[in-house]
Chains A and B, each alone.
Chain A
Amino acid sequence: MMLLLWAALTLFADPGHIAGKVTVRRGEVAVDASGVVVYVVGFSEPPPANAAEIRQHEKRFEPDLLPITAGQTVSFPNGDPFFHNVFSLSPTRKFDLGQYPRGETKTKQFPNVGVVEVYCNIHPEMAATILVLPNRRFARAAAEGWFRIGGVPPGRWTVYAYSRRAIAPVSASVEVRSGGTTEVQLSLEETRVEVSHTNKFGETYREPGKYRP
């Protein structure tokens, strides 16, 4: 009975906001925080109808960190004048899109929450991370680190800040009140360089330029 009452109050209560700042440091130096995604966990929401996008452009994935909601689709358009082969060996979502040229787009749905590391089988320098999250309450931090997440249901949740270059995300517990704004400060240490990875067969990539232009 109490649980039902709590659920009803949560459902019909005005949502609140979570706002604050993420400080990103590399050693002693504060750096650009625009590569950080801040998200809230503890409750689930249905995915949006529209597809998110990771574009292949100049041998890079853009963006290289994409937050989505579980069940959402991601499209992978190739904007380069040569072939790419997007794949993932992550247990959360294994896939292999095969090779496709400029102008073609392939899509994948991501039904399960987790982290999906995405690579190109032809170009080892291409790497991206898809954060498949349980809800739509996430935001990308501004370069100075400011962020604001709206529509958060009242309750006690955990806020995470995730960077591809940090060894681990940081978190804080927050209490969100109906119609209110909860302030939070997070601090990330970026120490990780891009981790080397294998191709889709689990092998080391061939020496760049040796077998292809």
Chain B
Amino acid sequence: MRWTIALAVTFFATSAHAGRTRFGWLYDTETVPQRGVELETWMLEEDHKGSPPVDETSLWLAPVIGVTDQVELAFPIEFSFTSDATGSRTDLDRLGAELRWRLTSPDPVESGPFSALVRLAAKRLVTDRGAIRLEPGLVLGLDFWRVHLVADIEGVIEIPDVGNVRSEFRPGAGLSLQIAGELRAGGEFYSEIGLFDNPTVTWFAVGPVVSWTHGRVWMVASCPIGLQNITAAPRLNWAVAF
């Protein structure tokens, strides 16, 4: 019966907003609806990073709370396992809070094809108790046809208790194509660039990414291959909404 007046065109086949990302290493522009909660988990690897090579596996866990339809707040806890020629160790790295503010309407019909999100995280370094780490970021999104494009510009500023400020620039970009339903595939480029006298290894990687949303769960698998100073950076993100 619905065809009698149905001249409907679905603007985007994806749900209005679920707080998900469609990329592994890049932030995205969706936010959790007001008073919604997600439990978000990231597992990421950095294989043979730098010289001499270091292997790192990190775990990021956070509840993400929709403060309004455009503002969400995350409380991440970050663990890492590091292995190099001298041995290995597991650390509780960082604790903190992260604010993500979508600048455009969360409804794609109302916001149009462009979306933008700014974020700011403030974290305490557990292994350097007097230090603070700030992570500002800007994410720009564009949707057309089945394609979702993102440009992500992130920064990291660590102010230690003693010593010099460490800073990083983390630009990236990605493309996600809707394959069927909520299954998407694409690619992403991501980099971490140490600024000034930062001892952090600069690396670049590019690779495929697959994302899927099913009901209250979304997940992303990404496997960038290293272009410089890293062999691979596989990553798995998933979340459960409540």
Q: Measuring CB to CB, which residues of chain A are less than 8 angstroms from any residue of chain B?
A: 39, 41, 83, 85, 89, 91-100, 108-109, 111-115, 131-134, 160, 167-169, 171, 201-203
Number of B residues, CB within 8 Å of A: 26
Kindly provide the distance from the CB of B14 to the nearest chain A CB, expressed in whole angstroms. 8
With a cutoff of 8 Å between Cβ atoms, the chain B residues found around residue A89 in the complex are 15
Residue of B nearest to A100 (CB): B34
Taking CB atoms, residues of chain A closer than 8 Å to B66 are 98
Task: Among A92, A98, A160, point to the contact of B34 (Cβ < 8 A).
Answer: A98
Please indicate the chain A residues that have their CB under 8 angstroms from the CB of B7 in the complex.
Answer: 112-114, 134
- Measured between alpha carbons, how far is A91 from B7 in the docked complex, in Å? 11
Query: With contacts A96-B15, A203-B215 known, is A112 near B107, CB below 8 A?
Result: no
Q: How far is the CA of A168 from the CA of B110 in the complex (A)?
A: 31
B107 near A95: Cβ-Cβ < 8 Å: yes
Partner of B241, one of A113, A168, A201: A201
Given the interface pairs A98-B66, A111-B109, the reply to whether A92 lies near B6 with Cβ below 8 Å is yes
| Cross-chain contact A96 with B33 (CB below 8 angstroms) | yes
B1 engages A96 (CB within 8 Å): no
Q: When chains A and B are docked, how far (Å) is the Cα of A109 from the Cα of B15? A: 16
B123 to chain A, nearest CB (A): 27
Min CB distance, A25 to chain B, in Å?
Answer: 17
Closest A-B pairs by Cβ, 5 of them: A98-B34, A114-B8, A98-B33, A92-B8, A99-B35
Q: List 20 A-B contacts (CB under 8 A).
A: A39-B5, A41-B4, A41-B5, A89-B15, A92-B8, A92-B10, A96-B15, A96-B33, A97-B69, A98-B35, A98-B66, A99-B33, A100-B34, A113-B7, A115-B5, A133-B5, A134-B5, A160-B5, A169-B4, A203-B215
B10-42 at interface with A (beta carbon < 8 Å): 10-11, 15-17, 33-36
Binding site for A on B (CB under 8 A): 1-2, 4-11, 15-17, 33-36, 66, 69, 107, 109-110, 214-216, 241
Taking a contact as CB atoms closer than 8 A, the residue among B2, B107, B216, B241 that contacts A108 in the complex is B107
B1 touches A169 (CB 8 A): yes
Please determine whether B8 and A113 come into contact, CB atoms closer than 8 angstroms.
yes
Q: Knowing that A98-B33, A133-B5 touch, tell me 17 more A-B residue pairs with CB under 8 angstroms.
A: A39-B5, A41-B5, A83-B35, A91-B10, A94-B10, A95-B16, A96-B15, A97-B34, A98-B36, A99-B33, A109-B109, A112-B8, A113-B7, A132-B5, A132-B8, A134-B5, A169-B1
**Chain B: CB-nearest residue to A104:** B34
Contacts of B107 in A (CB 8 A): 95, 108
Contacts of B1 in A (CB 8 A): 167-169
Determine which of B2, B17, B69, B110 lies in contact with A114 in the assembled complex, contact meaning CB atoms within 8 Å: B2
Chain A residue nearest to B36 in the complex (CB): A98
A202 touches B215 (CB 8 A): yes
Establish whether residues A98 and B69, one from each chain, have CB atoms under 8 Å apart when the complex forms: yes
Q: Give the docked Cα–Cα distance between A96 and B2 (Å).
A: 22
